[in-house]
Chains A and B, each alone.
Chain A
Amino acid sequence: MKRSLIILFLASSNIFSILEIEIIKGSDSLSKVAFVPFGIEENVNENYGEQISNLIEKNMLLFGEFENLDKAEMLSFPDSEEDFYYRDWKIMGVDYSVIGRVNSVNALGNLNISYSLFNINRRIKILEGEIVGKENNIEGIAKIISNRIYEKITGLKGIFDTKLAYIVNLDTETYQMCISDIDGKNEQILFTSAAPIMSPDWSPDRKKIAYVSFENGLAEIFIQDLASGERESIQTLGMTNSAPVWSPDGKSLALVVSFSGNPDIFSYSINNKRLVRLTNHYGIDTEPSWSPDSKKIIFTSDRSGSPQLYEINTQSKRKKRLTRDGNYNARGRYFPDGKSIFFVHGNEGNFQIATKKLSSRFIETLTSTSLDESPTISPNGNIIIYATKEGSKGYLGGITLDGKSRFSLPVKNGSVREPAWSP
C-alpha cells in the first residue's frame, strides 16, 4: 500500500494564505455496524425478532465489508427511535445501528416489519422503512432489508438477492451445472453429465443460463431455461461452439465457432438464428464478452504470438489491442461502469486476477495465489469472485475492490470452478 502523504503549504509568513493538508490514505478498518435484535409485537412469535436481525447481520458480513458489534456488548436494545440513544453506540465505536420491529402477523401469514438505520457519527437517522412479506419467506424479507441498508451506507446497489452459477466436478465421470443464492444457500443442480461442462453465463433477465457441454463428444452450447428446465442446443455449421456470453439486451450471444479448426468470434442472434462473423484471423480468437453499452466486445487473441486482450467495435468492426504487459492476458470482462476491465494475467508462471483502467496502461494484480481463473464481478462492481485451487481441489475465492477483504466460499464436495455472478 502506498504511503505517499503530501503536504502542501504556502509560505508560512504570508498571513493571507491558508495551510492545506492533503489526506490521501484511508483507514484499513471497516465500518462497524450494530444489528440490534428486532422488537416484537405481542401476537408475534418471539423468535422472529432475533431471527430477522441475525439474517440481516449474516448478509452484511458475507464479504467482509463490515465489522459487527457483538450482541453481548450492546448497552441497550431499542426497537424504536424514542428509545435510541446515540451515546450508547458511540461509546462502543459503532458507526451505524440497525433497529426494527416485527409488528404483526395476519391470518394470511404475512409479517409486517419496520426498520431504521442510524448514522452514529453524524447523530442522525438515515433510513426508515416498512416491509410486508410471507412468514415462510423471512429470508427473502431479510435480503430486501439488507440491500436497502447496504445501499444507504455505501451508495452501491445491494447484491444480497443475487445468485451464483458454478460447475462442480465430483469425480472424473460426474460434472454438475449448479446455481445457488450468493450466500451459498438453496443450491440447485441444473444439469448433470458424465462429460465436462464449461463456461456458464446468465441471461440479463436471469431466466436462462448458457453453457458448454461435451455430452455429444465435442464442445456444444446449450441454453437452459431455469423455470422449465428445457435445454436447447445452438446449431451452427462449425466444428465446435463455445464461450457463450449474452449481450446486454439479451437478444444475442457472442460466441466462438471453429470452422475448419480456426476459432473466431461471432455474434449469434437468438431469435432469427443468424450468425455474424466478427473476427477472421488464423490465430486463436476466443473468450468474447460485451461492454455494458453493447458497443464493444473484448476478446482474447494470440495473433501477436501470445494470448492478449483486444477490443472490437461492434459497429465499425475496428479492433484495438488492450494489453501489452506480460505474455499472457486472457478472459477479459468489463466492469459494470465500462471504464475498466478485469482478466487473468500470467506473470512468471503465476496466473492471477488483474484489473486495468481502459484509459491507462497499468495493470494491477488483485490476487496473490498462482492458479486463479474465471473471475466474475458483482452487479455493483464491488466484489470479484474467482476460481482457484488448493492441492488438487478447486474452490472459489473472492476479494472486495477496495482491497480490504479477501474471503473464500465454503468448500463443497468435489472441485468447484467457473463461477458466474447473476445480474
Chain B
Amino acid sequence: MNKILTSFNTFAFILLFLSFVFSVFSITTLKVDETQSIKVNFYELIESVEQPKRLSEARPKETIQQADLNKIEKNSEVKKSLDFKKYKLNKPDIKRELSKIKLSKEREVILKISAIIQDKISSVWIKPNSLSKVLAAKVLINLAPSGEVINFEMVEPSNDKFFDESVLIAINKISFFEEILGLDRKLFESNFRNFKLVFKSSGEIE
C-alpha cells in the first residue's frame, strides 16, 4: 500500500515539476526591475527508510515510473531524494507558492503597464518651474478596454493653478494607451478601467 502511494506521489511530483519548469520560463521574459525568488519545499521529510528490496518487488508498476524517471534523470537532486528516504508531498506549501506565483505574475504585468503609462505621460508633461513649491495633483482616468481615454477628472487639485493646468494639458495630449489593448480582461477591470495619476513637484531644481 505504501509502495503504491509512494509511486503515485512520485508520478504526481514529476508532472507538477514539469509544469512548474515551463511556467517559470514564461515569467522571466517580462522585463521589470523587481525579481522574486520563490522558495518551496516540495517535500516534507517523514522518515528515513531503506527500500531497495521494495523497488525490485514491484517491478511491473515500476517500469512505468522508471521510464518517467529516465526523463528527469539529469536532475540529480531529484534522483538523490528518491533513493533512500521517504517523502510526503507538501501540499499546503505547494498551493501557497502556486498562488504566489500567479499573484506575482499579475503584479509584474501591472508594474510593466504602469511604467509605460508613466513614461508616456512624462514625455508630454511640460512641468512649470516649481522651485520651492511642493505640489501634488490627482487626476482620475477612465479608460475603455481598447485603451482609449474616455474621461478624466481632476479629483484633488494642487493649490497652484498653473501646475494643475499643465497636468490637464499633458493628459489632453494622450488620447489612447495601446498597451491596454491586449490586457487580460480581469486585470484591466480591477486596475486600469479607473486609475489615478498623481502628479508631483518636489520643489527642487531638477
**Knowing A31-B126, A121-B169 touch, does A21 contact B205 (C-beta < 8 A)?**
no
Tell me, in angstroms, the Cα distance from A421 to B149 when the chains sit together: 46
The smallest C-beta distance from A151 to any residue of chain B, in angstroms, reads: 10
The smallest C-beta distance from A2 to any residue of chain B, in angstroms, reads: 7
Contact check: which of B121, B168, B203, B206 meets A402 at CB < 8 Å?
A: B206
Contact check: which of A9, A122, A154, A403 meets B206 at CB < 8 Å?
A: A403
Tell me, in angstroms, the Cα distance from A13 to B102 when the chains sit together: 12
Tell me, in angstroms, the Cα distance from A5 to B110 when the chains sit together: 15
A20 within 8 A of B: yes
Tell me, in angstroms, the Cα distance from A8 to B118 when the chains sit together: 12
Q: Which residue of A lies closest to B173 (CB)?
A: A121
Residue contact A154 to B128, C-beta cutoff 8 Å: yes
For chain A, give the interface size range.
35 or more
Residue contact B122 to A9, C-beta cutoff 8 Å: no
Contact with B along A395-413 (1 / 0, CB 8 A): 0000011110000000000
A26 within 8 A of B: yes
Q: Which residue of A lies closest to B109 (CB)?
A: A12
Residues of A within 8 A of B58 (CB): none
Tell me, in angstroms, the Cα distance from A316 to B29 when the chains sit together: 66
Number of chain B residues close to chain A: CB under 8 A: 45
The smallest C-beta distance from A96 to any residue of chain B, in angstroms, reads: 10
Contact with A along B156-172 (1 / 0, CB 8 A): 00001110010011001
Contact with B along A1-15 (1 / 0, CB 8 A): 110010111001101
B69 within 8 A of A: no
B43 within 8 A of A: no
Residues of B within 8 A of A19 (CB): 110, 114, 191-192, 195-196
A30 within 8 A of B: yes
How many A-B pairs with Cβ below 8 Å? 119
Residue contact B190 to A12, C-beta cutoff 8 Å: yes
B197 within 8 A of A: yes
Which B70-102 residues sit within 8 Å CB-CB of chain A? none
B59 within 8 A of A: no
Residue contact A340 to B198, C-beta cutoff 8 Å: no
**Knowing A12-B190, A119-B169 touch, does A335 contact B122 (C-beta < 8 A)?**
no
B151 within 8 A of A: no
Which B146-196 residues sit within 8 Å CB-CB of chain A? 160-162, 165, 168-169, 172-173, 187, 190-192, 194-196
Most buried by A among B111, B121, B206: B206
Q: Which residue of B lies closest to A20 (CB)?
A: B196
Q: Which residue of B lies closest to A400 (CB)?
A: B129
Residue contact B103 to A13, C-beta cutoff 8 Å: yes
Contact check: which of B172, B192, B198 meets A22 at CB < 8 Å?
A: B198
Residue contact A23 to B132, C-beta cutoff 8 Å: no
Residue contact B110 to A9, C-beta cutoff 8 Å: yes
**Knowing A12-B191, A340-B132, A403-B205 touch, does A26 contact B196 (C-beta < 8 A)?**
no
Tell me, in angstroms, the Cα distance from A18 to B121 when the chains sit together: 19
A367 within 8 A of B: no
Residue contact A29 to B126, C-beta cutoff 8 Å: yes
Tell me, in angstroms, the Cα distance from A337 to B203 when the chains sit together: 13
Contact with A along B41-80 (1 / 0, CB 8 A): 0000000000000000000000000000000000000000
A382 within 8 A of B: yes
Tell me, in angstroms, the Cα distance from A387 to B149 when the chains sit together: 49
**Knowing A1-B206, A119-B169, A122-B168 touch, does A20 contact B126 (C-beta < 8 A)?**
no
What are 25 pairs between A and B in contact, CB < 8 Å? Answer: A1-B206, A5-B115, A7-B111, A7-B114, A8-B198, A19-B191, A19-B192, A22-B118, A23-B121, A23-B199, A24-B200, A25-B206, A26-B126, A27-B122, A121-B173, A122-B169, A154-B129, A155-B161, A156-B129, A337-B132, A339-B132, A355-B205, A364-B205, A402-B127, A402-B129
Chain A contact residues, CB within 8 Å of chain B: 1-2, 5, 7-9, 12-13, 15, 18-27, 29-31, 95, 119, 121-122, 154-156, 335, 337, 339-340, 355, 357, 364, 366, 381-382, 400-403
A20-B197, A23-B118, A121-B172 known, 4 other contacts, Cβ within 8 Å: A18-B194, A21-B114, A21-B197, A95-B126
Chain B contact residues, CB within 8 Å of chain A: 103, 106-107, 110-111, 114-115, 117-118, 121-129, 131-132, 138, 160-162, 165, 168-169, 172-173, 187, 190-192, 194-200, 202-206
